[in-house]
Amino acid sequence: MKKKNLTTSYLMMLLPGYVWLFLFSIVPMIGFTFAFQAFVPGHGFFGSPWVGFDNFRYLFSLNDARSIFFNTVYISVFKIAGGVLVPLVFALLLNEIRVGLFKKWVQTIVYLPHFLSWVILGGIMLDVFSISGPVNRIVESLGGTKTAFFARADLFPTIAILSDVWKEFGFNAVIYLAALTGISPSLYESAAIDGAGRWQQLWRITLPSIATTAVLLTVLGLGNVLNAGFDQIFNLYNPLTYSTGDIIDTWVYRSGLLNLQFGLATAAGLLKSVMGFALITISYWLARRFANYRIF
Amino acid sequence: MKRMAFPTALALGLLVLSGANAQQMDPFGKYSDPVTINIGLSIQPTDKLPDGDSADNNQYTRYIKDKLNINTVISWMAATGNDYNQKVNLSIASGDLPDGLVTLDTAQLIQMAKADELADLTAAYNMYASPAMKAMISRNPKALSGVTFNGKIMAMPSLAVPDDGYHITWIRKDWLDKLGLKPPKTVAELEAVARAFIAKDPGGNGKGNTIGIAGQQNGANLYATFLNSTNNQFGLDPFFAGFDAYPGYWLKGKDGHAVYGSTTPETRAALLELQKLYKEGILDQEIGIRKDATESINSGRAGIYFGNWWSGYWPLPDAIKNHPEANWQAYAVPVDKNGKYIPHAGTVSNQYAVVRKGYEHPEALIKLLNLLIRDEGNFDQNNGSINWFPLRVPMAMIDESPVTIKAMHDVLANPSLIAKYQGPDYAMYKLLKTDVVGIGSTKLKPYDKSDIQYWNTSDKFWSRGYSYFTGNTAINSFAFDKVYSLVYYQTKTMIAQWSNLKKLEDETFLKIIYGTSISTFDQFVKDWKAQGGDTITQEVDAASK
């Protein structure tokens, strides 16, 4: 009897979360009807004429369709890879430092950029990489010629990926550092007694101990393959870099919110959601299989 | 004097005419019971209000409450530009419009009208519009037809002075003088001036820091288009016109049929020249991708930019704050191969005030605008800029500029004429009564010279006075031909496909300027036609017949 009461209170506590989820995630889903309509504003979710898959057909007839899907996957795959590897290496390096104060100091500084929004950081980057900015001054003083970095479509993905990895690696390293402190010191002590050097300790103890964390972060990242980072791209791109920088989200934003192509934008968004759902399902399956991670 | 009296006579005539077929109500009648209007407001982030005032409690809303008994409530507000347009788009999409709002986008107006979200203003306009408003609108016959859908007036249009559509060239005259150069006329001369600015560095910016021709910023238009035909500050419009090229405009081709200006050989030639200038380093090396176009002008590094007559408001106040010697003067150049300055001309209206369908007092909008026209000049804009006026769409007499310039010169020469210009004959020129007083406090002798050293630049009237004596004089001192677009709105197919074509165009043109082979242009024309351009051209052709 007592137990049942408890369950009720737990469910009551969950209620606000469910209401939130219902209002902001479930209800707006009705809007996917726009993808199959020649949407006329003001006629509600079901009032506009139905056009079947016309919006999707038009979407795929555009040259943009292929490039935005490719750009999205390309940029985000490298971001995920960089976002796993760089923090890992950094955390391992930091872990080897024995001066406590210096270690804390470095750790604090590298994770500061995480707290800056892309609106601010994007503005800073545009200035730093502009024709008269510091990067070009250095290039010039070394005898190179000035480049308008953000005019170069070939450089854009690299800049986007590197800056994103740079912004987030300090913060992501925290997870690894936490995993590292979780390794029992007795393992290292016994290894040292057995005559293992620093390298051997790294390969035999440290890496295997945090491998699960790394695998988990990678597979969970897979669910985000179609999110290449709207905030960042939006603040950095321009018509010259559309060809390599335009991602699904920025394209949906432009066609829907700026150009009033509600049906078309919803179609692209819906397509992204369906593919994202499939990827998330796969990644959870992988996480369960390889990292023994489960939510349900 | 005789000519000036004409509009008044016309207005009176119209008043009689309109009185005959519609019941005329008091345009300024105060409601006996308070009326509330919820509005969406677009505002510049730089528009500040005095302490204690707010968007729904400031000198304008209090005045409106006092005179009309209307309470203004702000449903939402957003920064002018993309933020505001997005907010309006969201309101349109969700069918949740405030009682009134102003749209800055013809496409939005058409969307709202087609979606049946707007109140019919025909009766309200006929019954409540003041004689002054009717006079202004009647001198711009196209204004009302642009907001009439199925015979009903669905919005109140702004009435722009035609000057806002003509783009001109601003040049640092102090640099010209220093180098002993004459103001350029042709494209070649303009390029030579820019070249000299860079080579001889009259601004002392240091080697490699001078920008010959300043460039547009990311997200703004490289040239005005048929949908955004006016006020394209920092675009390349005059340069294109120097090649008889009018990209973004719908033109009548040699065969009499519609042709899109961005696909013509003239535009190709202009792009090729721009590419050359970019390569040579004369054109801003970050054109179209820089964050802020005003930066190079305000920092004193740019010698030439293209833009509007009203530059005295923006960006020049900041430019002369940093460099008081910067003598920016305006020229109606470059001329084309026949030696003529032929700018493109904009639409009469680029802003529209609308009322949501079902709002009980659609006439409240008309009354607000009546009040604005009558009393705009009375407000001290130091207590909040006129942009705070609810549902404001600027309305101006079509000949406001030439009349204003003449009045300013007249009262400088003979202050006793002030009374004449403040009299009833000029009541339609709503700012004239303050203009004729203000000019005296900012213009220094000699009155016929507009150079920067002959102005009291700290006077609050400087922006307006300077804009009229430089930019506006440049386009009102001689007669010239202009190029109109065949249409200024989207045809049926455009609604679905224009954004894709425009993206293709923006991307291609900017790439060509940055050095991609000109053969991309020919490919662009082919793609553009295949991806819907041909259909759209036929629609425009049919619509313009």
Residues B201 and B294 in one domain: yes
Q: Report the Cα–Cα distance between both ends of chain A, in Å, rounded.
A: 26
Range of the structural domain that residue A234 is part of: 50-291
For residue B499, give how far its alpha carbon lies from the nearest alpha carbon of chain A (Å).
6
In this predicted structure, the answer to whether residue B311 has a pLDDT above a threshold of 70 is yes
Predicted pLDDT at A296: 56
Q: What mean pLDDT do residues B136-149 have?
A: 88
Q: Is residue B300, in this structure, part of any structural domain at all?
A: yes
* 3-state secondary structure at position B514: coil
CB pairs under 8 A between A and B: 89
Please give the Cα distance from B528 to B256 (Å, whole number): 21
Q: What is the DSSP letter of B72?
A: E
Q: What mean pLDDT do residues B522-538 have?
A: 96
User: Count of CB atoms within 10 A of residue A285's CB?
Assistant: 11
Omega of the bond leading into B446 within 30 degrees of 0 (cis)? yes
Tally of domains within chain B? 3
Predicted pLDDT at A43: 73
Q: Which residue of B has its CA nearest to A28?
A: B94
Q: What mean pLDDT do residues A160-176 have?
A: 94
Residues B538 and B470 in one domain: no
Domain termination site, one of B388, B416, B446: B388
Contact between B240 and B313 under an 8 Å Cβ cutoff? The reply is no
- pLDDT tier, B389 (very low <50, low <70, confident <90, very high otherwise): very high
pTM, entire model: 0.86
Q: What are phi and psi of A258, to 5 degrees?
A: -95, -35
Q: Is residue B394, in this structure, part of any structural domain at all?
A: no
In this predicted structure, the answer to whether residue A209 has a pLDDT above a threshold of 50 is yes
Q: What is the DSSP letter of B183?
A: P
For residue B47, give how far its alpha carbon lies from the nearest alpha carbon of chain A (Å).
22
Predicted pLDDT at A224: 83
Residues B308 and B364 in one domain: no
Among the ranges given (A251-260, B20-29, B495-504), the one the predictor scored with the smallest mean pLDDT: B20-29
B506 vs A: CB within 8 A: yes
In this predicted structure, the answer to whether residue B122 has a pLDDT above a threshold of 70 is yes
Residue type, B269: A
Q: Is residue A209, in this structure, part of any structural domain at all?
A: yes
How much of chain A exceeds pLDDT 90, in percent? 56
Q: Is residue A12, in this structure, part of any structural domain at all?
A: no
Residues B221 and B353 in one domain: no
Contacts of A262 in chain B (CB under 8 A): 93
Q: For chain A, where are the alpha helices, taking DSSP H only?
A: 2-21, 54-61, 63-96, 100-111, 118-128, 134-141, 156-181, 185-193, 198-201, 207-222, 230-236, 242-245, 248-252, 262-291
Asked if the Cβ–Cβ distance from B93 to A151 is below 8 Å, we say no
Please give the Cα distance from B279 to B290 (Å, whole number): 17
Contact between A221 and A83 under an 8 Å Cβ cutoff? The reply is yes
State how far Cα B429 lies from the chain centre. 18
Domain termination site, one of B474, B505, B524: B474
Q: Which two three-digit tokens encode residue B152?
A: 């009903």
Predicted pLDDT at A22: 93
Residues B48 and B188 in one domain: no
Residues B45 and B143 in one domain: yes
Is residue B73 within a helix (H) or strand (E), and if so which, with residue range? strand B70-79
**Mutation to test the A interface, candidates B86, B495, B498, B507, most A Cβ within 10 Å:** B507
Please give the Cα distance from B134 to B461 (Å, whole number): 29
In this predicted structure, the answer to whether residue A2 has a pLDDT above a threshold of 70 is no
- What are B331's strand-pairing partners? B169
Residues B226 and B291 in one domain: yes
Q: What mean pLDDT do residues A218-238 have?
A: 89
Residue type, A294: R
Tally of domains within chain A? 1
Please give the Cα distance from B277 to B212 (Å, whole number): 9
**Pairing mode, strands B302-307 and B211-213:** parallel
**Pairing mode, strands B250-252 and B258-260:** antiparallel
Q: Is residue B43, in this structure, part of any structural domain at all?
A: yes
Q: Is residue B405, in this structure, part of any structural domain at all?
A: yes
Contacts of B495 in chain A (CB under 8 A): 260
Q: Is residue A38, in this structure, part of any structural domain at all?
A: no
Among the ranges given (A135-149, B5-19, B136-150, B164-178), the one the predictor scored with the smallest mean pLDDT: B5-19
Q: Domain with A234 in it: what CATH number? A: 1.10.3720.10
Q: Which of B288, B291, B527 has the CB atom closest to A239's CB atom?
A: B288
Range of the structural domain that residue B233 is part of: 167-344+483-543
Residues B334 and B361 in one domain: no
Integer CA distances (angstroms), A249 to A154, A253, B197, B478, B512, in order: 20, 6, 43, 50, 27
Asked if the Cβ–Cβ distance from B94 to A131 is below 8 Å, we say no
